[in-house]
Amino acid sequence: MRTLFRGFSACAGTAVGSAVVISRGRAVRKTPAGDIAAEHQRLAEAMEGARAELTNARAELAGHDAELVLNVHLMMHGDDLLARAIKRRIDDEGVSADWALRAAVDELKSPLLASSASYFRERAEDIEHVGQHILRHLRGETLTLPNGGNVLVTHELSPADAVQLLSTGNVEGLVTATGSARSHTAILARAFDVPTVVGARGIVSAVRDAERLIVDGTNARVIVGPTAREADEVAARGARYRAYRSSLVSEGGDAVSVDGVEVTLRANVELPREASRAVRCGARGIGLLRSEFLYLDADEPPSEDAQVAAYREAARAVGDVVVVRTFDLGGDKLPSGHRLGHSRNPALGLRAIRLTMWRGSLMRTQLRAVLRAAHQHEIRVLFPLVSTVSELRAVKVLLEECRAELRDREEPFGDVAVGAMIEVPSAALQVCAISEEVDFLAVGTNDLIQYTLAVDRSDPRLAHLADPLSPAILSLLHSIRVAAETSGRPVSICGDVATHPLALPLALGLGYREFSVPPSALVFVRECIRRVEVKQLAEMATEALTLRTAAEVKALIDATVGDALRTLWTEQGIADPVSPI
């Protein structure tokens, strides 16, 4: 029988497959320990095994948000309190390690469950995950999946289990009964780009193993026992997506419009594992390497050698240009272990190039690493949050000093093109002068919108004001493009504008020919470009620049490209192109 479940979208996309139901908990019976010493040995081995698995999982996610989750779990695994509580039970009660673990976990959870703050009650789940993980090792169970076509259905996955299962590439979709878009499972699902619906209440008991179901992450729903037609449609969509993606690899990454205009697509990359996905999706190199992934949650800044290795690895993985954006730290992205002092207004405070120039050694180390990595690879360096010409001049002096240092050390290094992010209104207004200082420009539309429209992008109540299609933003995008052309400097867009169904055609019309987008958006952006006529978009852009409200701009774009792009929007599950994907 066909049943519909609703939940929250954790990762967009649609998948059809057969259910693999993982029900909660493994029942544990109270059994006496045959041999106390042997139980201690089993426990030590299981804790060791679980820790090793978690350490691997953490390496897989280096730099990602989810790494922090795994860090906490790792600390819990190594926590004396837990180990002591289990050992004490084995000794005092003479029970098996399994039972001692179960009882210790329950005891540790109880004060959290009794807390009035929901946050602490949720943390009981973390302790449960840690316990279940050790229990799995105690019993020598491994997580295995049938080959292909699996949709996991479960209450909630522990981070360790999630990494273990999702990294097999054997999971088409994921549904959990609990959790929210902010939960660990959701973060991991996005990192592995697996269509996921979380918080689908009642799903676990309603689905049998091997039952067919559809996970529609785009519209936050799950269809158990879909009609043959529904299942075929979803399967066909998935097959088209995969076929299209593999054709990209052979064709190369350029996107060409109906009237033959070539556009260069690169990828924004944070996690190392994303680089290879970017290549599979046809990216021509990395247009934005968020280098702070090396830094977050580390107590010390990454060493020069560690950075050189990371940049080389990225260049090897993509076999093309890598644009390293220098650490974009501070503001809402604070590194751990660093006291930066308080800022009343972090968005306007000591962040990005301001922070790395203030802590000059941060900038120097990174510049030397970039220069050295450029010895055998095409590496460019991009400075975030530039707001004045003087800042650029200062950083160029530093770059020259770094070259001299490397020469003294007789360390080989290569040429590095220098770029400025245009994401502060002052830089946008002075873009002619700035472009003369650098080799290339990159427009960071997210910050440019936030600063120009004076809207905090994290406040949902203000979302309607943070409109990428507002005439003020169009005007800036237009003048940046003109200035770049006048000074002969290439310019790219690397914010959400490049993936917005309506803003992308407009940017093409304004003359932008280079975009850097998340790997998961590459296919969509490329397909948009292949369906539009740039000459027509240029006329549309000229008219758009005369309009006075974002609503008028949207109506114009919709009227111009709606016919060409509507199927694509529907295919991608974008019901309302006015809101971004």
Partner 1 sequence: MTQVGTFTIINELGMHARAAAKLVKLAGSFSSTVQLEKEGQVADAKSVMGVLLLCGAKGSSVTVRATGEDASEAVEKIGALIADRFGEPR
Q: Which is nearer to partner 1, 309 or 350 (CB)?
A: 350
Which positions from 315 through 354 interact with partner 1, judged by CB under 8 A?
332, 334, 336, 338-339, 342, 346
Q: Is 236 in the site for partner 1 (CB under 8 A)?
A: no
Q: How many residues bind partner 1 (CB under 8 A)?
A: 29
Residue 190, SS3 per DSSP? helix
Using CB under 8 A, which of the segments 111-119, 376-384, 444-452, 498-506 binds partner 1? 111-119
Which positions from 72 through 101 interact with partner 1, judged by CB under 8 A?
72, 75-76, 79-82
Using CB under 8 A, which of the segments 120-128, 148-156, 185-193, 234-242 binds partner 1? 120-128
Q: Which is nearer to partner 1, 79 or 436 (CB)?
A: 79
Residue 332: exposure state from Cβ atoms within 10 A (0-12, 13-18, ≥19):
exposed
Residue 464, SS3 per DSSP? helix
Q: Which is nearer to partner 1, 64 or 368 (CB)?
A: 64
Question: 319: left (phi > 0), else alpha (psi -120 to 50), else beta?
Answer: left
Give CA–CA dist 112/118, Å, rounded.
9
Q: Are 280 and 245 in contact (CB under 8 A)?
A: yes
Give CA–CA dist 555/571, Å, rounded.
21
CB of 337 to partner 1, least distance (A): 8
Q: Are 150 and 20 in contact (CB under 8 A)?
A: yes
Report the residue from 47, 50, 108, 483 that binds partner 1 according to the rule CB under 8 A.
108
Question: Could you say which of 64, 73, 137, 184 is catalytic?
Answer: 184
Q: Are 211 and 223 in contact (CB under 8 A)?
A: no
Residue 449 gets which letter from DSSP? H
| Amino acid letter for position 26 | R
Using CB under 8 A, which of the segments 107-115, 224-232, 316-324, 404-412 binds partner 1? 107-115
Report the residue from 34, 35, 37, 116 that binds partner 1 according to the rule CB under 8 A.
116
Is 528 in the active site? no
CB of 139 to partner 1, least distance (A): 23
CB of 73 to partner 1, least distance (A): 9
Q: Is 126 in the site for partner 1 (CB under 8 A)?
A: yes
Residue 341, SS3 per DSSP? coil
Using CB under 8 A, which of the segments 68-76, 170-178, 361-369, 483-491 binds partner 1? 68-76
CB of 126 to partner 1, least distance (A): 6
CB of 121 to partner 1, least distance (A): 9
Q: Which is nearer to partner 1, 31 or 115 (CB)?
A: 115
Contacts for 439 with CB less than 8 Å, ≥ 6 apart: 380, 417, 418, 419, 489
Give CA–CA dist 75/79, Å, rounded.
6
Angle at 345 between CA 341 and CA 350, to 5 degrees: 50
CB of 294 to partner 1, least distance (A): 19
Q: Which is nearer to partner 1, 229 or 342 (CB)?
A: 342
Question: Could you say which of 11, 281, 402, 494 is catalytic?
Answer: 494
Site map 151..180 versus partner 1, x via CB under 8 A: ------------------------------
Report the residue from 27, 34, 37, 119 that binds partner 1 according to the rule CB under 8 A.
119
CB of 74 to partner 1, least distance (A): 9
Give CA–CA dist 477/423, Å, rounded.
11
Question: 199: left (phi > 0), else alpha (psi -120 to 50), else beta?
Answer: left
DSSP result, 14-61: EEEEEEEEE-S-------B-S-HHHHHHHHHHHHHHHHHHHHHHHHHT
Give CA–CA dist 296/334, Å, rounded.
8
Question: First vs last Cα of the chain: how many Å apart?
Answer: 32
Q: Is 71 in the site for partner 1 (CB under 8 A)?
A: yes
Q: Which is nearer to partner 1, 112 or 506 (CB)?
A: 112
Which positions from 258 through 317 interact with partner 1, judged by CB under 8 A?
299
CB of 285 to partner 1, least distance (A): 33
Q: Are 295 and 327 in contact (CB under 8 A)?
A: yes
CB of 42 to partner 1, least distance (A): 21
Give CA–CA dist 191/62, Å, rounded.
11
Is 494 in the active site? yes
Using CB under 8 A, which of the segments 88-96, 112-120, 192-200, 374-382 binds partner 1? 112-120
Question: 410: left (phi > 0), else alpha (psi -120 to 50), else beta?
Answer: left
CB of 365 to partner 1, least distance (A): 22
Q: Which is nearer to partner 1, 214 or 352 (CB)?
A: 352
Q: Are 506 and 469 in contact (CB under 8 A)?
A: yes
CB of 187 to partner 1, least distance (A): 13
Report the residue from 37, 117, 228, 404 that binds partner 1 according to the rule CB under 8 A.
117
Angle at 274 between CA 272 and CA 280, to 5 degrees: 130
Angle at 221 between CA 217 and CA 223, to 5 degrees: 115
Inter-CA distances, 334 with 291, 331, 337, 371, 457, Å:
14, 6, 9, 26, 17
Q: Which is nearer to partner 1, 12 or 61 (CB)?
A: 61
Measured in degrees and rounded to the nearest 5, phi and psi for residue 14 equal -125, 145
The residues binding partner 1 (CB under 8 A) are 68-69, 71-72, 75-76, 79-82, 108, 111-112, 115-117, 119-120, 123, 126-127, 299, 332, 334, 336, 338-339, 342, 346
Active site positions, annotated: 184, 494
